[in-house]
Structure 1
Amino acid sequence: MMVDSGPAAQPGAAANASPEKDRAGNGDYACGGWKSEDGSLTCGYSSFRGQRVSMEDYCDLKSTKIDGHTVHLFGIFDGETYKKTDSDFLAAESNTSRDDGSTASTAVLIGKHLYVANVGDSRAVISKTGKAIPLSNDHKPNRSDERKRIEDAGGVVTWTGTWRVGGILAMSRAFGNRLLKQFVVAEPEIQEQVVDEELEILVLASDGLWDVVANEDAVSLVRVEEEPEAAARKLTETAFSRGSADNITCIVVRFHHDKFDVDQFPSPPPNSYSGLTS
């Protein structure tokens, strides 16, 4: 299932998806829900243009079979995978005066193994028995390791109301941004998490949420909602009410452990997530 949360939002192929748009009918708001065939996952998404003139966030939900095994993918993209996406993006912009970019946070679930890849300042957070645990680390220019990498490559990080690469970009990794490409790489950081009985919920969201909602607040808000769609919608509404000035897009995944097939991918195949960087 794929959901484009921009102005032309359309439901994906999954029969359980139920997208809804704002009453104005202009694509400023979209939400929907989805359930896996075996009932082990329920998922909701919510996307709101907010105070921005245009909608640049995008969310992607997919479920497929690979060698007879089910693989789920959830993604948040802010702008427009990874290395090839970056090169394609740069090639598409090479003959224009534009210098666009994008961030991404994606999660791939293979059996009980969850892999999260992140570029930029979208973020993935899980709830383990109510405790908020980030599965990504925002790529900000003032992060000590990121600043060193940029400066070692000959770049500079300056303060202009916020920390920026070359005084321009407020993140240190992204797709595109060809004028800063020597310093602003698209190499993702990947974390792995085993989905055990304590892992309840996964939240993926663009920086429009995380700018104003702390990890702990996000987990507290979604845990009291039984339906992930309602939880995702609550997150976007909360971020907007707290003054978020950006597009706001969230995906909430709830795990139902009584439905998990314990024999499904007891251990991941070799290089099972290598495609995230290719």
Structure 2
Amino acid sequence: MANSAMGMLAPLARDLQWKIFMRQKLMALMVKLLAFLEFLMVFLHNTFIALALYCIHATYAKRKFQDGGVANMIKSDYFNLTMQCLVLMIGYGHGGARAAEYVKQNLFSNLIRHPKFISDTKSAIADAYNHTDSEFLKSENNQNRDAGSTASTAILVGDRLLVANVGDSRAVICRGGNAIAVSRDHKPDQTDERRRIEDAGGFVMWAGTWRVGGVLAVSRAFGDRLLKQYVVADPEIQEEKVDSSLEFLILASDGLWDVVSNEEAVSMIKPIQDAEEAANRLMQEAYQRGSSDNITCVVVRFLSNQGASSHSNSG
């Protein structure tokens, strides 16, 4: 009787062992599959970015940089609005090239690797700017205490254009034929900036121009260890909808904007369809007007407006 019962239970036990074995195998397979899917998502995300970087015609021109101007060079035809995302960055260094080079090498990667880059882009931008700043200060080990850099970043995610700015590099768009500033220059004499600096224990004084502590002519920047308590790297972020009324974007350092107004810049390059030619035109005009500063300039034309423009010219 006992032998008979054991004989009946043996197949059930083997079946149970088989099920446990198969479940373990399935779980191991699921873990591998999830890891592969995670890798695939990261790969596709980075691929979208890489693809986007080849769907734009932009350029920057410069004279010999004494203080390390920064730009992400991206060159192709025109930006295709069906692409997932695009990141452009320019910056301008002061007190040597170290800070500008660090921002160039790290801000872009800190941004696109942020876990919320797509889901909460504004938060990712703010985190990336501040993280880049703090890591630069750690890396310097009290050297180059006056090295700093401005930065303006234009990020396109779907139909949203987000422009982040620290310092006095500026972003201007042409929408419906009109010049619109989509960033604000951070200057120490602005009421809110001056109040923030003074609340932190600093001061603003005139020394040829308004300066933080009588030294620095911008109120926000990367680096600037000696003034860090007052000169923050918190970006101001503005958002614009990308639609058929958005014609082009200009990102440029203060060497351009010191001598060319937003309206003049837009009017000057509106008829120029080639973005590289447009950027060079702005550069030439700035130097003809006596700009003695190094200049970084990027022009981006949006594909959605090209058809309308060509149509209008042919009519």
TM-score by length of 1: 0.74
Aligned-pair CA distance for 1:202: 0.5
State whether residues 67 and 92 of structure 2, in contact with CA within 8 Å, keep that contact through their aligned partners in structure 1: no
Greater RCO (CA < 8 Å, at least 6 residues apart): 1
The residue aligned with 2:71 is 59
Choose between structure 1 and 2: higher helix proportion: 2
Deviations 1:134-165 (A, max 9, x none): 00010000011100100111110001110000
Q: Which one of the candidate residues 138, 154, 170 is aligned to 1:123? A: 170
The residue aligned with 2:62 is 48
Q: Which one of the candidate residues 221, 241, 248 is aligned to 1:174? A: 221
CA distance in 2, matches of 1:197, 1:69: 15
The residue aligned with 1:29 is none
Deviations 1:24-69 (A, max 9, x none): xxxxxxxxxx861xxxxx422122126x6x2521101569xxxx96
Q: Which amino acid is the alignment partner of residue 288 of structure 2? A: S
State whether residues 106 and 117 of structure 1, in contact with CA within 8 Å, keep that contact through their aligned partners in structure 2: yes
Q: After superposition, where does 1:205-220 map in structure 2 within 5 Å?
A: 205-220=252-267
SS of 1:84's equivalent?
A: helix
The residue aligned with 2:91 is 77
SS of 1:216's equivalent?
A: helix
The residue aligned with 2:289 is 242
State whether residues 75 and 105 of structure 1, in contact with CA within 8 Å, keep that contact through their aligned partners in structure 2: yes
Q: Which one of the candidate residues 147, 153, 164 is aligned to 2:194? A: 147
State whether residues 148 and 221 of structure 2, in contact with CA within 8 Å, keep that contact through their aligned partners in structure 1: yes
- Identity level (%): 55
Give the direction of change, closer, same or farther, for the CA distance of 1:189–1:97 in structure 2 (3 Å limit).
Answer: closer
State whether residues 124 and 134 of structure 1, in contact with CA within 8 Å, keep that contact through their aligned partners in structure 2: yes
* Residue ranges of structure 1 left out of the alignment (5+ in a row): 1-13, 16-33, 37-41, 261-278
SS of 2:267's equivalent?
A: helix
State whether residues 154 and 161 of structure 2, in contact with CA within 8 Å, keep that contact through their aligned partners in structure 1: yes
CA distance in 2, matches of 1:144, 1:97: 30
SS of 1:140's equivalent?
A: coil
State whether residues 59 and 74 of structure 2, in contact with CA within 8 Å, keep that contact through their aligned partners in structure 1: no
Give the direction of change, closer, same or farther, for the CA distance of 1:258–1:136 in structure 2 (3 Å limit).
Answer: closer
SS of 2:179's equivalent?
A: strand
Higher-Rg structure is 2
CA distance in 2, matches of 1:259, 1:48: 27
Does 1:102 find its partner at 2:149?
A: yes
SS of 2:164's equivalent?
A: strand
SS of 1:201's equivalent?
A: strand
Query: How many pairs are equivalent?
Result: 220
CA distance in 2, matches of 1:162, 1:35: 41
Does 1:232 find its partner at 2:244?
A: no
Give the direction of change, closer, same or farther, for the CA distance of 1:61–1:192 in structure 2 (3 Å limit).
Answer: farther
* Residue ranges of structure 2 left out of the alignment (5+ in a row): 1-49, 76-81, 94-99, 101-106, 108-128, 308-315
Aligned-pair CA distance for 1:92: 2.3
CA distance in 1, matches of 2:299, 2:220: 24
Give the direction of change, closer, same or farther, for the CA distance of 1:196–1:97 in structure 2 (3 Å limit).
Answer: closer
The residue aligned with 1:5 is none
State whether residues 60 and 73 of structure 2, in contact with CA within 8 Å, keep that contact through their aligned partners in structure 1: no
SS of 1:184's equivalent?
A: coil
CA distance in 2, matches of 1:223, 1:70: 26
Does 1:197 find its partner at 2:211?
A: no
State whether residues 62 and 72 of structure 1, in contact with CA within 8 Å, keep that contact through their aligned partners in structure 2: no
Give the direction of change, closer, same or farther, for the CA distance of 1:196–1:136 in structure 2 (3 Å limit).
Answer: same
SS of 2:205's equivalent?
A: strand
SS of 1:240's equivalent?
A: helix
State whether residues 152 and 166 of structure 2, in contact with CA within 8 Å, keep that contact through their aligned partners in structure 1: yes
**Greater CA deviation, 136-145 or 217-226?**
217-226
